[in-house]
Amino acid sequence: MARTKAKLALSPTDLKYYLYERAVQCPEWHVKHFPRFYLWMTKKKAKSLREDFCGTSRISMEWVRSAKDRTALGLDLDPEPIGYYERFHRSELKADEQTRLRHELKNVLEPTREKFDLIAACNFSFFIFKERETLLKYFKAARMSLKPGGALFLEMAGGEGMQESMEEKRMFTAPGIGRVKYVWEQDDFDALQAINDYAIHFQLPNKRWIKNAFEYHWRLWGIREIRELLAEAGFSKSHVFWEDSDRQGNGTGEYVPMEEGDPSHAWIAYVAGIR
Ligand SMILES: C[S@@+](CC[C@H](N)C(=O)[O-])C[C@H]1O[C@@H](n2cnc3c(N)ncnc32)[C@H](O)[C@@H]1O
């Protein structure tokens, strides 16, 4: 049987970021909805974004592309994904977009001198902080880095579906590579520590596996305790954007501000703290 030949030659490290972006991320969604939520909460237009845990900076890229007066700063501890941005993404941006997107190799636990309208922590990345004290430090540092009235957006996930031992598999097309299998693996939840292990694996068209391309060791924080911690960190108000459901109780994909939520087997929600 003829095998699909990869037309794209990437190093193993670059390949895992290339596949991750296509299998997992949808930066257009965040860039469309965060400013909408922000406008609803503050009646102001968001111009400056700090993308925390930015990885390859896909959200920042879409942000600077979306309007001429929008600027972004990506923060990540690891030079590897930022190197990927430099090698592959920078040249995809126009010259003026490139100047409006900057990076700092920096721990998000330290505040930035520059202040922002929005700080976004996506893909549950802050779940890396397992201790209350550390998360409080992050929220305080983020608050100090916001302009008055600025907002910290936290993308969260939860529900029993995040706690059970399972594997979710799906196929996607990676241009230049072919049809790739994406596997999301969850371990057994530690009910006392509220911690679980997760991993992403890929299988290439030639059947070769990239096992544990990304591994996560996360504490599953609850929305209520996050809002309490935001208040403790000095945020004046917090809002929850929860997925709306139709009459049959199925998720509509629309996120709306809510104070009470129906249970869901696995949910994604956005918590926003206002400075
Ligand atoms: C799950 S990836 C997020 C990638 C991308 N932002 C997304 O939404 O899919 C988490 C990233 O957070 C970075 N990271 C972990 N701890 C950090 C910290 N304390 N400060 C800054 N970056 C951190 C890691 O290096 C990694 O690139």
> What is the mean pLDDT, run by run of 10 residues, along the chain of 275 residues?
61 97 97 97 97 98 98 98 97 98 98 98 98 98 98 97 97 97 96 96 97 98 98 98 90 94 92 98
Verify that 211 and 110 share a domain, yes or no.
no
Which residue has a Cα nearest atom 9 of ligand 1? 123
Verify that 253 and 178 share a domain, yes or no.
no
Residue 243 in any domain: the answer is yes
Residue 54 in any domain: the answer is yes
CATH code at position 115? 3.40.50.150
Which residue has a Cα nearest atom 25 of ligand 1? 78
Distance 124 CA to ligand 1 centre (A): 9
Rounded Cα gap, residues 113 and 224, in angstroms: 30
pLDDT value at residue 120: 98
**Atom number of ligand 1 nearest to Cα 123:** 8
Distance 84 CA to ligand 1 centre (A): 14
Residue 2 in any domain: the answer is no
Verify that 223 and 212 share a domain, yes or no.
no
Verify that 131 and 184 share a domain, yes or no.
no
Rounded Cα gap, residues 164 and 160, in angstroms: 6
**Atom number of ligand 1 nearest to Cα 122:** 8
Residue 9 in any domain: the answer is no
Distances (CA, A) of 137 to 110, 111, 140, 224, 230: 8, 10, 5, 18, 10
pLDDT value at residue 225: 98
Rounded Cα gap, residues 78 and 125, in angstroms: 13
Question: Per the structure block, which two tokens stand in for 249?
Answer: 């109780």
Contact by Cβ (8 Å): 124, 92: no
> Which residue, among 137, 192, 203, 123, has the nearest Cα to 163 in the 3D structure?
192
Residue 16 in any domain: the answer is no
pLDDT value at residue 9: 87
Rounded to 5 degrees, φ, ψ at 237 are -160, 155
Residue-number span of the structural domain to which 83 is assigned:
21-159+219-274
What is the reported pTM? Answer: 0.95
Residue 36 in any domain: the answer is yes
Query: Structurally, how many domains does the chain consist of?
Result: 2
Contact by Cβ (8 Å): 133, 66: no
**Atom number of ligand 1 nearest to Cα 55:** 27
